[in-house]
Amino acid sequence: MTSMAQPLLPTPIEGLETPALLLDDARMRRNIARMRTQLARLGVAFRPHVKTNKSMDVTRLLMDSPSGPITVSTLKEADYFAARGVRDILYAVCIAPNKFAHALQLLRSGVRLSIILDSMETAELLVAFAQANGACFEVLIEIDSDGHRSGLAPDAPELVPIGGYLQQAGMVVKGVMTHAGSSYDSSTLDGVRAVAEQERAAVVTAAQRLRAAGVACPVVSVGSTPTALFAQHLEGVTEVRAGVFVFFDLVMAGIQVCTLDELALSVLATVIGHQADKGWTLIDAGWMAMSRDRGTAKQAVDQGYGLVCDLDGRPMDDLILVGANQEHGIVAHRDGRLADLTHLPVGTQLRVLPNHACSTAAQFPHYHVVGTDRQVHHIWSRFSGW
Protein backbone atom coordinates (compact mmCIF):
# COMPACT_ATOMS: atom_id res chain seq x y z
CA MET A 1 0.00 0.00 0.00
CA THR A 2 1.11 3.53 -0.73
CA SER A 3 -1.42 5.13 1.57
CA MET A 4 -0.25 8.15 3.47
CA ALA A 5 1.14 7.50 6.94
CA GLN A 6 -0.96 8.53 9.93
CA PRO A 7 0.14 12.00 11.02
CA LEU A 8 1.89 12.56 14.33
CA LEU A 9 -0.61 14.17 16.71
CA PRO A 10 -1.43 16.89 17.42
CA THR A 11 -1.32 18.18 13.86
CA PRO A 12 -2.93 21.30 12.35
CA ILE A 13 -6.11 20.67 10.36
CA GLU A 14 -4.48 22.59 7.50
CA GLY A 15 -2.17 19.61 6.97
CA LEU A 16 -4.94 17.02 6.42
CA GLU A 17 -5.79 15.48 3.09
CA THR A 18 -9.40 16.20 2.28
CA PRO A 19 -12.24 15.45 2.62
CA ALA A 20 -11.91 14.67 6.32
CA LEU A 21 -14.53 14.53 9.06
CA LEU A 22 -13.74 16.98 11.86
CA LEU A 23 -15.21 16.57 15.33
CA ASP A 24 -15.00 19.64 17.56
CA ASP A 25 -14.15 18.19 20.95
CA ALA A 26 -15.28 21.15 23.07
CA ARG A 27 -18.64 21.44 21.31
CA MET A 28 -19.27 17.71 21.64
CA ARG A 29 -18.55 17.78 25.37
CA ARG A 30 -20.83 20.78 25.86
CA ASN A 31 -23.59 19.00 23.94
CA ILE A 32 -23.25 15.93 26.15
CA ALA A 33 -23.28 18.04 29.31
CA ARG A 34 -26.40 19.84 28.10
CA MET A 35 -28.26 16.54 27.63
CA ARG A 36 -27.12 15.19 31.00
CA THR A 37 -28.30 18.36 32.76
CA GLN A 38 -31.68 18.13 31.07
CA LEU A 39 -32.16 14.45 31.90
CA ALA A 40 -31.14 15.04 35.52
CA ARG A 41 -33.77 17.77 35.69
CA LEU A 42 -36.35 15.40 34.22
CA GLY A 43 -35.33 12.61 36.60
CA VAL A 44 -34.99 9.87 33.98
CA ALA A 45 -32.27 7.39 33.09
CA PHE A 46 -30.26 7.76 29.90
CA ARG A 47 -29.78 5.01 27.31
CA PRO A 48 -27.82 6.90 24.59
CA HIS A 49 -28.41 5.91 20.98
CA VAL A 50 -25.09 5.06 19.34
CA LYS A 51 -26.35 4.82 15.73
CA THR A 52 -25.16 8.40 15.12
CA ASN A 53 -21.61 7.96 16.33
CA LYS A 54 -20.83 4.22 15.84
CA SER A 55 -17.59 4.67 17.74
CA MET A 56 -16.44 3.41 21.14
CA ASP A 57 -14.46 6.60 21.68
CA VAL A 58 -17.59 8.75 21.44
CA THR A 59 -19.90 6.30 23.18
CA ARG A 60 -17.56 6.05 26.19
CA LEU A 61 -18.33 9.71 26.86
CA LEU A 62 -22.08 9.05 26.79
CA MET A 63 -22.49 5.97 28.94
CA ASP A 64 -23.22 5.91 32.66
CA SER A 65 -20.75 3.03 33.05
CA PRO A 66 -18.40 0.98 30.85
CA SER A 67 -21.12 -1.66 30.57
CA GLY A 68 -23.82 0.68 29.30
CA PRO A 69 -26.70 1.01 28.87
CA ILE A 70 -26.92 1.89 25.18
CA THR A 71 -29.39 1.77 22.30
CA VAL A 72 -28.40 0.37 18.88
CA SER A 73 -30.00 0.33 15.42
CA THR A 74 -28.25 -2.79 14.08
CA LEU A 75 -26.92 -6.03 15.49
CA LYS A 76 -23.51 -5.11 14.09
CA GLU A 77 -23.55 -2.17 16.50
CA ALA A 78 -24.48 -4.61 19.27
CA ASP A 79 -21.58 -6.90 18.28
CA TYR A 80 -19.10 -4.03 18.15
CA PHE A 81 -20.01 -2.55 21.53
CA ALA A 82 -20.40 -5.96 23.18
CA ALA A 83 -16.85 -6.79 22.09
CA ARG A 84 -15.76 -3.63 23.91
CA GLY A 85 -17.43 -4.47 27.20
CA VAL A 86 -20.94 -3.05 26.86
CA ARG A 87 -23.42 -5.42 28.49
CA ASP A 88 -26.82 -3.67 28.45
CA ILE A 89 -28.05 -3.10 24.90
CA LEU A 90 -31.47 -2.28 23.43
CA TYR A 91 -31.81 -3.12 19.72
CA ALA A 92 -34.45 -0.52 18.82
CA VAL A 93 -35.72 -1.75 15.44
CA CYS A 94 -38.48 -4.37 15.31
CA ILE A 95 -36.67 -7.66 15.02
CA ALA A 96 -36.84 -9.75 11.86
CA PRO A 97 -36.96 -13.53 12.19
CA ASN A 98 -33.65 -13.86 10.34
CA LYS A 99 -31.99 -12.02 13.25
CA PHE A 100 -33.29 -14.27 16.07
CA ALA A 101 -30.21 -16.52 15.94
CA HIS A 102 -27.85 -13.57 16.03
CA ALA A 103 -29.71 -12.05 18.97
CA LEU A 104 -29.54 -15.36 20.82
CA GLN A 105 -25.80 -15.57 20.19
CA LEU A 106 -25.42 -12.14 21.81
CA LEU A 107 -27.51 -13.22 24.80
CA ARG A 108 -25.44 -16.36 25.24
CA SER A 109 -22.23 -14.33 25.13
CA GLY A 110 -23.38 -12.57 28.29
CA VAL A 111 -24.98 -9.46 26.82
CA ARG A 112 -28.28 -8.31 28.28
CA LEU A 113 -29.85 -7.61 24.90
CA SER A 114 -33.42 -6.32 24.72
CA ILE A 115 -35.35 -6.54 21.47
CA ILE A 116 -38.55 -4.90 20.27
CA LEU A 117 -41.60 -5.91 18.25
CA ASP A 118 -45.01 -4.46 17.41
CA SER A 119 -47.16 -7.40 16.28
CA MET A 120 -48.59 -10.73 17.42
CA GLU A 121 -47.16 -12.13 14.20
CA THR A 122 -43.58 -11.41 15.29
CA ALA A 123 -44.34 -12.39 18.89
CA GLU A 124 -45.46 -15.84 17.75
CA LEU A 125 -42.40 -16.31 15.54
CA LEU A 126 -40.15 -15.23 18.41
CA VAL A 127 -41.78 -17.54 20.93
CA ALA A 128 -41.53 -20.48 18.52
CA PHE A 129 -37.82 -19.77 18.04
CA ALA A 130 -37.21 -19.26 21.75
CA GLN A 131 -38.97 -22.48 22.70
CA ALA A 132 -37.13 -24.45 20.01
CA ASN A 133 -33.83 -23.15 21.37
CA GLY A 134 -34.53 -23.08 25.09
CA ALA A 135 -34.11 -19.30 25.12
CA CYS A 136 -35.76 -16.39 26.89
CA PHE A 137 -35.79 -12.94 25.32
CA GLU A 138 -36.35 -9.59 27.01
CA VAL A 139 -38.87 -7.75 24.87
CA LEU A 140 -40.20 -4.20 24.65
CA ILE A 141 -43.35 -3.49 22.68
CA GLU A 142 -43.01 -0.59 20.28
CA ILE A 143 -45.66 2.12 20.53
CA ASP A 144 -46.49 4.50 17.70
CA SER A 145 -46.74 7.99 19.18
CA ASP A 146 -46.95 10.04 15.97
CA GLY A 147 -47.77 7.87 12.96
CA HIS A 148 -44.38 8.31 11.34
CA ARG A 149 -43.36 4.67 10.94
CA SER A 150 -43.72 1.53 13.14
CA GLY A 151 -45.36 0.64 16.46
CA LEU A 152 -48.80 -0.05 17.89
CA ALA A 153 -51.15 2.80 18.71
CA PRO A 154 -51.35 3.30 22.50
CA ASP A 155 -54.99 2.18 22.42
CA ALA A 156 -54.47 -0.66 19.95
CA PRO A 157 -56.58 -3.71 20.88
CA GLU A 158 -53.60 -6.00 20.14
CA LEU A 159 -51.37 -4.44 22.78
CA VAL A 160 -52.52 -6.29 25.86
CA PRO A 161 -52.90 -9.67 24.08
CA ILE A 162 -49.33 -9.41 22.76
CA GLY A 163 -47.97 -8.55 26.20
CA GLY A 164 -49.96 -11.32 27.84
CA TYR A 165 -48.93 -13.87 25.22
CA LEU A 166 -45.21 -13.05 25.58
CA GLN A 167 -45.40 -13.20 29.37
CA GLN A 168 -47.28 -16.49 29.39
CA ALA A 169 -44.83 -17.98 26.91
CA GLY A 170 -41.96 -17.27 29.31
CA MET A 171 -40.52 -14.15 27.70
CA VAL A 172 -39.72 -11.09 29.83
CA VAL A 173 -41.95 -8.17 28.89
CA LYS A 174 -39.51 -5.46 29.81
CA GLY A 175 -41.72 -2.58 28.82
CA VAL A 176 -42.78 -0.21 26.10
CA MET A 177 -40.82 2.23 23.93
CA THR A 178 -41.52 4.85 21.29
CA HIS A 179 -39.62 7.28 19.08
CA ALA A 180 -41.24 10.58 18.13
CA GLY A 181 -39.50 10.93 14.79
CA SER A 182 -41.98 13.57 13.75
CA SER A 183 -40.22 15.96 16.13
CA TYR A 184 -37.73 16.45 13.29
CA ASP A 185 -40.52 17.97 11.22
CA SER A 186 -41.41 20.65 13.74
CA SER A 187 -41.03 24.27 12.74
CA THR A 188 -41.04 25.78 16.23
CA LEU A 189 -39.92 24.82 19.72
CA ASP A 190 -43.55 24.93 20.84
CA GLY A 191 -44.15 22.29 18.21
CA VAL A 192 -41.32 20.20 19.63
CA ARG A 193 -42.73 20.56 23.16
CA ALA A 194 -46.12 19.41 21.95
CA VAL A 195 -44.61 16.35 20.25
CA ALA A 196 -42.66 15.57 23.43
CA GLU A 197 -45.84 15.53 25.50
CA GLN A 198 -47.62 13.41 22.86
CA GLU A 199 -44.68 10.96 22.93
CA ARG A 200 -44.76 10.75 26.72
CA ALA A 201 -48.50 10.39 26.96
CA ALA A 202 -48.63 7.66 24.31
CA VAL A 203 -46.10 5.38 25.90
CA VAL A 204 -47.32 5.97 29.46
CA THR A 205 -50.87 5.12 28.36
CA ALA A 206 -49.63 1.89 26.81
CA ALA A 207 -47.68 0.98 29.96
CA GLN A 208 -50.76 1.62 32.13
CA ARG A 209 -52.91 -0.64 29.94
CA LEU A 210 -50.39 -3.47 30.17
CA ARG A 211 -50.00 -3.13 33.95
CA ALA A 212 -53.76 -2.99 34.46
CA ALA A 213 -53.94 -6.33 32.64
CA GLY A 214 -51.27 -7.85 34.86
CA VAL A 215 -48.39 -7.60 32.42
CA ALA A 216 -45.16 -6.39 34.01
CA CYS A 217 -43.89 -3.27 32.31
CA PRO A 218 -40.96 -1.85 34.28
CA VAL A 219 -39.46 0.16 31.43
CA VAL A 220 -41.15 3.12 29.74
CA SER A 221 -38.75 4.46 27.13
CA VAL A 222 -38.93 7.53 24.88
CA GLY A 223 -36.46 9.34 22.80
CA SER A 224 -35.48 11.73 20.08
CA THR A 225 -33.00 14.56 20.43
CA PRO A 226 -35.60 17.36 20.11
CA THR A 227 -38.14 15.86 22.50
CA ALA A 228 -35.49 14.87 25.05
CA LEU A 229 -34.12 18.43 25.17
CA PHE A 230 -37.50 20.21 25.25
CA ALA A 231 -39.82 17.92 27.19
CA GLN A 232 -41.41 19.91 30.04
CA HIS A 233 -41.72 16.81 32.22
CA LEU A 234 -41.52 13.07 31.70
CA GLU A 235 -43.87 11.74 34.35
CA GLY A 236 -44.23 7.99 34.01
CA VAL A 237 -41.20 7.64 31.76
CA THR A 238 -38.20 5.70 33.05
CA GLU A 239 -35.56 6.23 30.34
CA VAL A 240 -34.66 8.44 27.40
CA ARG A 241 -32.85 7.49 24.21
CA ALA A 242 -31.19 10.08 21.94
CA GLY A 243 -28.13 10.18 19.74
CA VAL A 244 -27.94 13.12 17.35
CA PHE A 245 -27.51 15.65 20.20
CA VAL A 246 -23.85 14.61 20.54
CA PHE A 247 -23.03 16.31 17.25
CA PHE A 248 -26.20 18.25 16.30
CA ASP A 249 -26.61 19.26 12.64
CA LEU A 250 -28.29 21.77 10.34
CA VAL A 251 -31.67 20.03 10.58
CA MET A 252 -31.57 20.39 14.38
CA ALA A 253 -30.49 24.03 14.05
CA GLY A 254 -33.36 24.55 11.59
CA ILE A 255 -35.90 23.60 14.26
CA GLN A 256 -34.03 25.75 16.83
CA VAL A 257 -33.06 22.79 18.98
CA CYS A 258 -29.48 24.06 18.81
CA THR A 259 -27.54 27.01 17.44
CA LEU A 260 -25.04 26.82 14.59
CA ASP A 261 -22.14 27.20 16.98
CA GLU A 262 -23.16 24.00 18.75
CA LEU A 263 -22.62 21.84 15.63
CA ALA A 264 -19.68 19.58 16.44
CA LEU A 265 -19.24 17.86 13.05
CA SER A 266 -17.96 19.42 9.86
CA VAL A 267 -16.40 18.17 6.66
CA LEU A 268 -13.00 19.69 5.89
CA ALA A 269 -12.71 20.31 2.14
CA THR A 270 -10.35 22.04 -0.28
CA VAL A 271 -11.03 24.39 -3.19
CA ILE A 272 -10.08 22.66 -6.48
CA GLY A 273 -11.34 25.19 -9.05
CA HIS A 274 -13.89 27.79 -10.10
CA GLN A 275 -16.51 28.53 -12.72
CA ALA A 276 -16.32 32.30 -12.43
CA ASP A 277 -19.15 33.02 -14.89
CA LYS A 278 -21.53 31.04 -12.68
CA GLY A 279 -20.14 32.23 -9.34
CA TRP A 280 -19.17 28.66 -8.46
CA THR A 281 -16.26 27.43 -6.38
CA LEU A 282 -15.59 23.71 -6.70
CA ILE A 283 -14.44 21.73 -3.65
CA ASP A 284 -13.35 18.13 -3.14
CA ALA A 285 -16.32 17.21 -0.94
CA GLY A 286 -19.33 15.98 -2.89
CA TRP A 287 -22.24 13.79 -1.89
CA MET A 288 -19.95 10.89 -1.02
CA ALA A 289 -18.59 13.05 1.80
CA MET A 290 -21.72 15.02 2.74
CA SER A 291 -24.19 12.17 1.98
CA ARG A 292 -27.22 12.71 -0.20
CA ASP A 293 -29.24 13.95 2.79
CA ARG A 294 -31.23 17.08 1.95
CA GLY A 295 -33.04 17.30 5.27
CA THR A 296 -33.09 21.11 5.29
CA ALA A 297 -34.86 21.23 1.90
CA LYS A 298 -38.25 21.29 3.62
CA GLN A 299 -37.18 23.76 6.33
CA ALA A 300 -37.46 27.55 6.29
CA VAL A 301 -33.76 27.84 5.37
CA ASP A 302 -32.59 25.32 2.77
CA GLN A 303 -28.88 24.72 3.35
CA GLY A 304 -28.32 22.77 0.12
CA TYR A 305 -25.83 19.97 0.78
CA GLY A 306 -24.22 21.91 3.61
CA LEU A 307 -23.34 25.33 5.04
CA VAL A 308 -19.85 26.59 4.19
CA CYS A 309 -17.67 27.89 7.03
CA ASP A 310 -14.11 29.11 7.42
CA LEU A 311 -11.47 27.07 9.23
CA ASP A 312 -12.70 28.35 12.59
CA GLY A 313 -16.19 27.08 11.87
CA ARG A 314 -17.80 30.47 11.24
CA PRO A 315 -20.39 30.54 8.40
CA MET A 316 -19.03 32.46 5.40
CA ASP A 317 -21.14 35.06 3.75
CA ASP A 318 -24.14 32.84 2.96
CA LEU A 319 -22.20 30.29 0.93
CA ILE A 320 -23.75 26.82 0.74
CA LEU A 321 -23.17 23.67 -1.27
CA VAL A 322 -25.72 24.25 -4.03
CA GLY A 323 -24.83 21.03 -5.81
CA ALA A 324 -22.91 17.83 -5.36
CA ASN A 325 -21.48 15.08 -7.55
CA GLN A 326 -19.77 12.05 -6.08
CA GLU A 327 -16.49 13.82 -5.25
CA HIS A 328 -17.31 17.41 -6.30
CA GLY A 329 -19.17 20.00 -4.29
CA ILE A 330 -20.37 23.26 -5.83
CA VAL A 331 -20.14 26.24 -3.47
CA ALA A 332 -22.21 29.32 -4.30
CA HIS A 333 -24.30 32.01 -2.68
CA ARG A 334 -27.64 30.73 -1.49
CA ASP A 335 -29.45 33.54 -3.28
CA GLY A 336 -27.73 32.85 -6.59
CA ARG A 337 -25.83 36.12 -6.81
CA LEU A 338 -22.34 35.94 -8.28
CA ALA A 339 -19.81 35.36 -5.55
CA ASP A 340 -16.49 37.15 -5.20
CA LEU A 341 -14.19 34.18 -5.65
CA THR A 342 -10.92 36.02 -5.10
CA HIS A 343 -10.86 35.11 -1.41
CA LEU A 344 -11.26 31.41 -2.21
CA PRO A 345 -8.20 30.54 -4.32
CA VAL A 346 -7.37 26.94 -5.23
CA GLY A 347 -6.08 25.21 -2.11
CA THR A 348 -8.26 27.17 0.34
CA GLN A 349 -9.67 24.90 3.01
CA LEU A 350 -13.27 25.18 4.17
CA ARG A 351 -15.43 23.46 6.75
CA VAL A 352 -18.89 22.37 5.64
CA LEU A 353 -21.62 21.81 8.24
CA PRO A 354 -23.84 18.81 7.39
CA ASN A 355 -27.60 18.60 7.15
CA HIS A 356 -27.75 15.34 9.06
CA ALA A 357 -25.03 14.13 11.39
CA CYS A 358 -26.03 10.43 11.14
CA SER A 359 -25.77 10.25 7.36
CA THR A 360 -22.66 12.41 6.92
CA ALA A 361 -20.70 10.68 9.67
CA ALA A 362 -21.63 7.33 8.08
CA GLN A 363 -19.58 8.24 5.01
CA PHE A 364 -16.30 8.37 6.97
CA PRO A 365 -14.13 5.73 8.64
CA HIS A 366 -12.65 8.19 11.16
CA TYR A 367 -13.31 11.26 13.25
CA HIS A 368 -10.49 13.79 13.34
CA VAL A 369 -10.98 15.24 16.82
CA VAL A 370 -10.12 18.92 16.85
CA GLY A 371 -9.33 21.17 19.79
CA THR A 372 -9.89 24.89 20.16
CA ASP A 373 -6.30 25.24 18.90
CA ARG A 374 -7.45 23.95 15.47
CA GLN A 375 -5.17 20.94 15.92
CA VAL A 376 -6.18 17.32 15.50
CA HIS A 377 -5.59 15.64 18.86
CA HIS A 378 -7.09 12.21 18.20
CA ILE A 379 -8.19 10.08 15.27
CA TRP A 380 -11.11 7.94 16.35
CA SER A 381 -12.37 4.99 14.28
CA ARG A 382 -15.98 4.42 13.41
CA PHE A 383 -17.59 1.54 11.55
CA SER A 384 -20.41 1.08 9.06
CA GLY A 385 -22.41 -1.67 7.39
CA TRP A 386 -24.32 -4.61 8.84
Name the residue nearer to a copy of itself (CB basis): 82 or 307. Answer: 82
Do the bridges between strand 11-12 and strand 375-381 make them parallel or antiparallel, or are there none, so unpaired? antiparallel
Query: Toward a copy of itself, which CB reaches closer, 302 or 327?
Result: 327
| CA 220/CA 236 separation, integer angstroms | 7
The residue (of 6 and 326) whose beta carbon lies closer to a copy of itself is: 326
CB of 40 to a copy of itself, least distance (A): 28
Please choose, from the candidates 162, 144, 146, the residue with its C-alpha nearest in 3D space to the C-alpha of residue 154.
144
Query: Residue 339 Cβ, how far from a copy of itself at the closest point, in Å?
Result: 16
- The 3-state DSSP class for residue 228 equals helix
Q: Which residues contact 174 (CB under 8 A, 6 or more apart)?
A: 114, 138, 139, 140, 217, 218, 219
Task: Kindly list the strands in the beta sheet with 88-91, ordered across the sheet, starting from the edge strand earlier in the chain.
Answer: 45-46, 239-240, 219-222, 172-177, 138-142, 112-117, 88-91, 70-72
Answer whether 208's CB lies under 8 Å from 163's CB: no
Residue number, 42 or 150, with CB nearest to a copy of itself: 150
Considering the complex, state which of residue 307 and residue 322 has its C-beta at the smaller distance from a copy of itself: 322
Which residue, 300 or 342, has its beta carbon nearer to a copy of itself? 342
- Write down the least CB distance from residue 128 to a copy of itself, Å: 11
Query: C-beta of 357: minimal distance to a copy of itself in Å?
Result: 11
If the CB atoms of residues 42 and 107 are measured against a copy of itself, the closer one turns out to be: 107
Please report how close the Cβ of residue 360 comes to a copy of itself at its closest, in angstroms.
10
Which amino acid is residue 275, in one-letter code?
Q
CB of 51 to a copy of itself, least distance (A): 6
Other residues' Cβ atoms within 10 Å of the Cβ of residue 5: 5
Q: Which has the closest alpha carbon to 162: 143, 149, 148?
A: 143
CA distance 42 to 44: 6
CB of 121 to a copy of itself, least distance (A): 5
